[in-house]
Amino acid sequence: MKQKLLLISNSTNFGEAYLGWPRDFISEFIKPTGVKRILFIPYAGVGLSPAGLSESFDVYEQRVNAVFKTLGYEIYSIHHEKDAVAAVNQAEAIAVGGGNTFHLVYLMHKMGIMDAIRNRVQQGIPYMGWSAGANVACPSLKTTNDMPIIEPESFNCLNLVPFQINPHYLDANPEGHGGETRQQRIEEFLIVNRDITVVGLREATLLWVENGQIHLKGARPMRVFNFMKEPVEYTPGTDIDFLLK
């Protein structure tokens, strides 16, 4: 299996620099490939500028590029490209930023790049995504935490892994909040989607997929949910290859 994926729960921990905690992992992930220029998909970054979407995407590109330059890489954003599908087909690596998953998926379908990205990643180019960018590596966006601010053509996503990710997974609700817990929301999903596994990916953790294997890396365990089964915790370093089967 050629796929090389870095699926990151969150970009920034409280009180830290943007993309601070995963920087070493990103560098370790990309360095062996020899890639220097990475195509960036900013479509989840809706509200980064009051001037509009294009301006928000500009801000997002600059923010991510500032980090990647410190690591020795260059980011160039797909929203500047005249032909989005051609840009994907020519890319040496792809990074998908976080933000609103519904808007990300909406534009990925509208621009025709969902299939193009899947094909390129299955051919072996590196793919990394954080938050919404990790969500879209899954079969669908159905386990996102985001508000549906726009209706995509389909909820179907890249299907690069056979399970769902819930990024920013929280074990409990904030004090004084009477709504459902994240676990209850995932259990609702499983009642309707009984044959799929959900990974609750806590902040400061990521999943690294390469050579047909998957590894949990970071500071915390993850929680795995299946229909009518008790959730199971897995710590970094534990064998979790069953998720790819």
Interval 127-151: pLDDT, tens:
999 999 999 999 999 999 999 999 9
Helix, strand, or coil (residue 53): helix
**Which whole number is the average pLDDT over 170-175?**
77
Kindly report the length of the chain: 245
What is the per-residue pLDDT for 48? Answer: 94
Helix, strand, or coil (residue 149): coil
Instruction: Please work out, in degrees rounded to the nearest 5, the angle formed at the alpha carbon of residue 136 by the alpha carbons of 21 and 86.
Output: 105
Token representation of residue 23: 């920087």
pLDDT above 70: percentage of residues in the chain:
98
CA gap 194, 181 in Å, rounded: 19
What is the per-residue pLDDT for 180? Answer: 83
What is the per-residue pLDDT for 179? Answer: 74
Q: Which CATH number does the domain housing residue 204 bear? A: 3.40.50.880
What is the 8-class DSSP label of residue 228? T
pTM of model > 0.75: yes
Q: Terminus-to-terminus CA distance in the chain, angstroms?
A: 12
**What residues are annotated to the active site?**
131, 146, 168
Q: Domain range for residue 172?
A: 5-244
Nearest residue to 64 (alpha-carbon basis) of 31, 26, 92, 35: 26
Name the pLDDT band for 2 (thresholds 50, 70, 90).
confident
213 — phi, psi (to 5°)? Answer: -125, 160
Residues 6+ positions from 201 with CB-CB distance below 8 Å: 7, 9, 134, 165, 166, 167, 168, 169, 207, 222
**Which whole number is the average pLDDT over 25-42?**
97
- In sign, the C-alpha dihedral spanning 154, 157, 158, 160 is negative
φ/ψ bin of 173: left (φ > 0), alpha (ψ from -120 to 50), beta (otherwise): beta
What is the per-residue pLDDT for 89? Answer: 98
What is the per-residue pLDDT for 221? Answer: 98
Residues 6+ positions from 110 with CB-CB distance below 8 Å: 153
Number of domains in the chain: 1
How much is the mean pLDDT over the chain? 96
Q: Are 13 and 62 in contact (CB under 8 A)?
A: no
**Which whole number is the average pLDDT over 232-236?**
98
Does residue 1 register a pLDDT over 80?
A: no
Least confident of 12-16, 94-98, 221-225: 12-16
Does residue 81 register a pLDDT over 70?
A: yes
Over the stretch 174-229, which tens digit does the pLDDT of each residue have?
A: 676 667 899 999 999 999 999 999 999 999 999 999 999 999 999 999 999 999 99
